[in-house]
């Protein structure tokens, strides 16, 4: 590789620094990334992973020409500018950017460029960079958007048919009694809820936003708890909050919107199956290597014959007659929690009135083993019985 990318990266550094450079190169290439090492301040390319030529169809000489200010390499110009920006950064500063380049065939290619300037033992400095091909990630996101769009269409079409039919029935049911009219309204409300969920979670705008910005993968426990408190306040209910120590500051690993949805289902259950005006308890405490949330209400509780089937898909309990629901809420919440490596259980009330859900989620920087109540794997599907 020319002018010197193929040379041994130890040529301009001490053996200790060379070992660190080799380690960096090895880790990068094992992860499928392209490692770049550039001596500063003259921007001499000392190492470039062989994968660079495979990916872009250009060699080290082409990249070196760009680094040296040769303007002929338009395809690599954006990459050269990003590397130059990294070289101008302060020592130890980590910069992450995405750039668009073109390979030797003229096809556009997205790269994530991660740069960091490190000090050498001899007083000089080196720019270390990782180049990451974003094509697989972007293809995966495109597949997600296509799948979401398909689901949106496949669900929305029959829902529109049902919505139109129920509107016609309501308009023509002049002689229907009140019970029939109420059933019509429940169907209409259920359709509206499903359409709203499609708009919130599977809309084209939401899918288009995925991938444009880095999606958060953690949420602080107190933020999740506050979402439940706000939901109760919006419904005109009192929230009785219990927190154990500083566990409300723990960072939970997971997709925030999904975790909020799981907790929302539990709060919906408490609102629907407890007397108006009664408080709902929300709690958070450390439990082993994670955090456990509790949602408690003062309703009649879960019938014994329903407890073992609460999370079954489409299951509606014996106390759900006449109440809105499709039997999918707690099934969905359980699925979300399970995907995040957590657990959702029905707590033991020991003769007390009401129902308690226990939702355990893994947290960052917490050791120890998970500790859960010894209750059987069942829960109250009370919004969706």
Q: Do domains 15-133 and 218-362 have the same CATH topology?
A: no
pLDDT value of position 382: 42
- Alpha carbon 32 to its chain centroid, in Å, reads 23
The answer to whether the CB of 61 falls within 8 A of the CB of 108 is no
The answer to whether the CB of 83 falls within 8 A of the CB of 36 is yes
Question: Of the ranges 84-93, 165-174, 376-385, which one carries the lowest mean pLDDT score?
Answer: 376-385
Q: Residue 176 corresponds to which tokens in the numbers above?
A: 């229907």
pLDDT value of position 208: 60
Q: Inform me whether the pLDDT recorded for 3 exceeds 60.
A: no
Q: Inform me whether the pLDDT recorded for 124 exceeds 50.
A: yes
Q: Inform me whether the pLDDT recorded for 71 exceeds 70.
A: no
Alpha-helix residue ranges (DSSP H) falling in the chain: 15-30, 51-56, 60-67, 77-87, 135-172, 178-201, 204-209, 221-234, 256-272, 329-339
CA distance 261 to 24: 41
365: Cβ–Cβ under 8 A, 6 or more apart, which residues?
Answer: 250, 251
User: Domain 15-133 class?
Assistant: alpha beta
Q: How confident is the model at residue 69 (pLDDT cuts 50, 70, 90)?
A: confident
Can you spell out the DSSP letters for 32-59? Answer: T-EEEEEEETTTEEEEE-THHHHHHS--
DSSP state of 104: T
**Strand-pair partners of 173:** none
Tell me the domain boundaries of the chain: 15-133, 138-209, 218-362
- The better pLDDT of the pair 366, 94 is held by 94
pLDDT value of position 233: 93
Tell me: domain 218-362, CATH 3.30.1330.10, correct? no
pLDDT value of position 318: 57
CA distance 216 to 255: 7
**Strand-pair partners of 128:** 37, 116
Q: Inform me whether the pLDDT recorded for 372 exceeds 70.
A: no
Among the ranges 19-28, 178-187, 241-250, 308-317, which has the highest mean pLDDT value?
178-187
Q: Inform me whether the pLDDT recorded for 78 exceeds 60.
A: yes
Can you spell out the DSSP letters for 345-364? Answer: EEPP-TT-SS-EEEEEEEBT
CA distances from 208 to 132, 137, 148, 202 (A): 22, 14, 11, 10
Average pLDDT of the residues in 119-136:
86
Say how many C-beta atoms besides its own lie within 10 A of residue 331's C-beta: 19
* pTM greater than 0.75: no
Average pLDDT of the residues in 24-47:
82
| Radius of gyration in angstroms for the set of CA atoms belonging to the chain, rounded to a whole number | 29
Q: Residue 158 corresponds to which tokens in the numbers above?
A: 């029959």
Chain mean pLDDT for the chain: 77
Among the ranges 8-17, 170-179, 363-372, which has the highest mean pLDDT value?
170-179
pLDDT value of position 245: 64
Q: Inform me whether the pLDDT recorded for 50 exceeds 80.
A: yes
CA distance 60 to 53: 8
Q: How confident is the model at residue 171 (pLDDT cuts 50, 70, 90)?
A: confident
Three-state DSSP state, 174: coil
The answer to whether the CB of 385 falls within 8 A of the CB of 317 is yes
pLDDT value of position 215: 54
Q: Per residue in 251-270, pLDDT tens?
A: 887 778 888 989 999 998 88
């Amino acid at each position: 590789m020319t002018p010197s990318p193929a040379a041994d990266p130890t040529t301009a550094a001490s053996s200790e620094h060379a070992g660190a450079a080799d380690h960096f190169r090895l880790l990068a290439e094992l992860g499928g990334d392209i490692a770049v090492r550039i001596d500063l301040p003259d921007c001499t390319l000392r190492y470039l992973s062989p994968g660079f030529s495979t990916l872009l169809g250009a060699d080290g000489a082409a990249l070196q020409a760009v680094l040296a200010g040769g303007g002929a390499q338009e395809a690599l110009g954006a990459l050269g500018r990003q590397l130059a920006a990294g070289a101008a950064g302060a020592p130890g500063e980590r910069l992450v950017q995405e750039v668009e380049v073109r390979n030797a065939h003229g096809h556009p290619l997205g790269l994530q460029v991660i740069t960091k300037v490190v000090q050498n033992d001899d007083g000089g400095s080196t720019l270390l960079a990782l180049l990451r091909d974003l094509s697989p990630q972007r293809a995966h996101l495109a597949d997600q958007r296509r799948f979401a769009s398909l689901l949106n269409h496949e669900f929305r079409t029959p829902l529109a048919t049902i919505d139109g039919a129920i509107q016609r029935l309501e308009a023509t049911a002049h002689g229907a009694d009140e019970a029939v009219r109420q059933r019509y309204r429940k169907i209409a409300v259920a359709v509206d809820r499903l359409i709203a969920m499609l708009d919130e979670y599977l809309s084209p705008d939401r899918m288009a936003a995925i991938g444009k910005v880095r999606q958060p993968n953690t949420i602080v426990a107190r933020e999740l708890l506050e979402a439940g408190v706000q939901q109760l306040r919006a419904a005109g209910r009192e929230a009785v909050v219990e927190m154990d120590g500083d566990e409300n500051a723990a960072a939970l690993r997971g997709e925030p919107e999904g975790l909020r949805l799981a907790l929302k289902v539990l709060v919906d259950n408490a609102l629907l199956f407890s007397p108006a005006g009664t408080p709902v308890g929300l709690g958070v405490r450390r439990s082993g290597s994670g955090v456990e949330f509790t949602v408690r209400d003062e309703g009649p509780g879960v019938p014994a014959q329903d407890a073992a089937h609460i999370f079954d898909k489409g299951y509606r309990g014996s106390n759900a007659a006449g109440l809105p629901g499709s039997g999918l809420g707690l099934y969905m919440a359980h699925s979300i929690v399970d995907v995040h490596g957590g657990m959702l259980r029905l707590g033991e009330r020991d003769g007390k009135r009401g129902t308690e859900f226990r939702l355990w989620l893994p947290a960052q920087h917490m050791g120890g083993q998970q500790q859960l109540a010894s209750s059987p794997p069942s829960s109250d599907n009370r919004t969706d019985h």
